[in-house]
Structure 1
Amino acid sequence: MCKFARPLLSLVIAGLLVGTIYAQDLPRLCIYFGESTKYITVDMRKDSAATSFSIVRQDYESDEKKEEIRSRKDNEAEPPIPLTNNFFSTKKPLKVSTVEKISDCVKLVTVAEFRKTDFKMPERARSTLFIFTKKLEDGMFLKWDALLMVTE
């Protein structure tokens, strides 16, 4: 590991924590997913204190398209295009009885709606702050406050 990687990673995590703490009650876009939702990967630590969400961008699902994008990395004239939108939550999810109880949700969309190339963020939603919701078998919902990970 490069000597700058560890301090840089610490700064990124600290920034995420601060961003999550100060993001309370700001209007955000809510993204709903279920057990069988395609094109989203959810990775949660065993203690559920940190969760990452990765949504594959529309038109980048096929292996051929992924290989085409990866081959562009060798061409410095064209910057690489991210294949996914990545989000990170540093808190345990909250359990809520209905999606309507999430007061800071400007609009609720499915993963499929969010992936569309013509999707427009609602005006009142902050562009890097999101809420992820998942319906449980008992009818309750889990709610995560998440931050969009910016890719350069």
Structure 2
Amino acid sequence: MPTLFAFARLLGLQGMVIAAVLVFYEGAPGLNYLTPHLRFVPAAGPLLDDLAQGRVGRAARTAKLSERLAWQEKERRWQIATQAKVDAIEDGWNEERRRQAANHMDAIAELERAIADEKSNRSGGGPACDPALPRGVSRALDKIGR
């Protein structure tokens, strides 16, 4: 204790004020090692935490938090806009597939009609072997890509 008094006498009033202002603004970095353990002590915890961080550290932490929140909000808005574009492209793709399926079903129905027409146009006295693929059926198959 006498050493602290001797050091205070050496610094003088102006030196102690400057040291107090410096610790108030910049903090005492050595206390950062103690504050996680002492943070939960009712009276000393918050005081030591503020003393360790200093005004500059608290302002930096607040600025980091606000910047992170602003960035997360911007990213969330970008994801919403991007998802809307993806949904529009997906809807267009699905509509195209539905249209192609409807065209495909029409072509299959036309093929079935061509087969039925070929069966109805056959006469019983024709050749012993029918052609492998009649012309109407062949043309209907060409339309559906088989």
TM-score normalised to structure 2 length: 0.20
TM-score normalised to structure 1 length: 0.20
Q: Name the structure where helix makes up a greater proportion of residues.
A: 2
Q: Name the structure where strand makes up a greater proportion of residues.
A: 1
Q: Which has the larger radius of gyration?
A: 2
Larger RCO: Structure 1 or Structure 2 (Cα < 8 Å, ≥ 6 residues apart)?
Answer: 1
